[in-house]
Chains A and B, each alone.
Chain A
Amino acid sequence: MSTVAETQIKLTPEHDARPGASVRSRLQDLLPKIVLAPSFAATIVFVYGFILWTIYLSFTNSKTFPSYAVTGARAYQRLWRWTFESDPPSSWYTSITNMGIFGFLYILICLALGLFLAILLDQKIRGEGVLRPIYLYPMALSFIVTGVAWKWFLDPGLGLEQTLHQWGWTSFHFDWIKNKDFVIYTVVIAGVWQASGFVMAMFLAGLRGIDGEIMKAAQIDGASAFQLYRRIVIPLLRPVFLSAFIVLAHLAIKSYDLVVALTSGGPGGSAWLPSNFMYEFTFKRNEMAVGSASAVIMLMTITAIIVPYLYSELREKSR
């Protein structure tokens, strides 16, 4: 902000001689700000304003409707207590452990698979133009469509298991989607199917950006293909890893619809993620304070991941 103000001060005397041009150039200076102002104001109100509102609500006793009398941190106390109720698991405990399992596997497998596919596609093969969109298109589907399609595919009475039984392999057994201990892994499968093509596209762009000279030099020095990727290509892709990680992390944290469409919550609520918990408590159980508190905790978690990343990125740029 201060730099902008300074430039304006510097410019003003020069323009004073020609008042008409001064107005115009001042307008030109202001134009970006004027254009940005509405979206800036909208973001301030609808994102940050409502974040503050949610934080405020989490300290009230809001039930069906918001109530504005601050009554203390009872909602957080309840969540804290539920965090340690593992047997039988409380809904909150299930949600956060699922978040851990889902987030970890989803990001890891998407990165690994995306990179692997990108490396394969990068071998100057024929038909790349056909193959690339095939992997990328699942990203164009909404989570609801992905969820429903995989729900049918994984249902033992309809999809894969039933089909294989009809083909004669009657001992085949795959009922994860009906199993309280494994249902979260089906969410991982569907999520990975959807996002890994997108990660592949990111890595492919990164691979194309690597200078061919470096590769040639390494090959002349006698590096094997494995060493080439291990020592040179993957380290060079570091910025792509970081962007892919950020995209996947926020997809993981907000995947509410996938759980609903795929499992409708899972047997006994065993597929819940914190976002499901938040929606259930705020809108279905009329416990708005608890719902808000869980939303705040989700925000804190994201902040804890994003802020160090932004910090390290910005620090590197300023160097």
Chain B
Amino acid sequence: MTVYTLKIDGRDVAGSEGQSIMDVAEENGIDIPGLCHLPGIHDRGACRLCVVKIGGSPRLAAACVTRIAEGMDVVAHDEELEEYRRAATEMMFLERNHVCAVCVANNHCELQELSADLGMTHFELPRISPTVDVDLSHKLFGLDHNRCILCLRCVRVCDEIEGAHVWDVMHRGLETRIQADMGVDWGDSATCTSCGKCVQVCPTGALFEKGRPVAAGTRDERPFLPWLRVHQEERGL
């Protein structure tokens, strides 16, 4: 396997051919934020929070879907990138109806945590306040589109690990929604195995376990996702 050497934020690091900038940064303890990225499932560069600058390239690249190359000079943190990340995060908050105080994921939410890490104290843009559905038809779980940021972790984990491919995406732009099967209520899905993997990987409160009060949170006892670890090893990551 070819080993490449490169720089991330001025640090000399090395990685194997085929690895992403995100993978190598993680291995070297360099924190690049990302909400759609989850080790063990394929990356898709959806959330754009991991954008980095690559020396010699005029445009930003998503670190999770950009492979390393010999001599690459990557800037993962500077004032401009933080500003882009704040803007992207702000738009995620405003596109749907995120109300941290009364969310099942309050204090266990990657979006909320990220906003704090980025020092976000308010929004400059107006809220969209769309009318979206909450699907409570499944006997164990719920889907609240108000909290969905379209990271598509649920789509990928269901397809790549559970092998059921219950989830997919319908419509475009602001109308984009996660859908079960061909747009049926989750409870009526013929393919769902009720394994709960999608609920475990959801970074926000969009997918949640039913029957838990808001104050109890749902992520305290999130297991360490053993099946993701196995998958990671199989992929040689």
Tell whether A pairs with B: no
On A, residues with C-beta under 8 Å from B are none
